[in-house]
Amino acid sequence: QVQFVESGGGLVQPGGSLRLSCAASGSTFAIWTMGWYRQAPGKQRELVAIITRGYTTNYADSVKGRFTISGDNAKNTVYLQMNSLKAEDTAVYYCSAGRFGVPTEYWGQGTQVTVSS
């Protein structure tokens, strides 16, 4: 089983920045991809960004140019640097991991990100 410790969420004004982190533990040998999803109230959970063990990255169109995902294989940790935040970025952000393809097999507890003036 895989467990996560997420941190870095909070309240920020529009145009501001936040940096999320997610440290995975447990059966991390099985993980090939990790990433971040988000879910706003009344909406479906959506992909934000993913990263592989080879540090290949992919982003949702809505965050390209503003968010950067990075990782540290030795620490089994991923980060999400979020810049130029908008109100529409407000959501619970979930760390995730998987053995194949997109990381949808294991989920973190989630951390709240609120962008408001």
> What b-and-e string marks burial along 15-25, b requiring 16 or more CB atoms within 10 Å of the CB?
eeebebbbbbe
Q: Determine the number of helices (DSSP H) and then strands (DSSP E) in the chain.
A: 0, 11
Find the mean pLDDT for residues 50-71.
97
pLDDT of 10 reads 98
Find the mean pLDDT for residues 107-115.
97
pLDDT of 101 reads 85
Find the mean pLDDT for residues 3-25.
97
Taking only the tens place, the pLDDT of each residue in 63-110 is 999 999 999 999 999 999 999 999 999 999 999 999 988 889 999 999
- β pairing state of 46-52 and 33-39: antiparallel
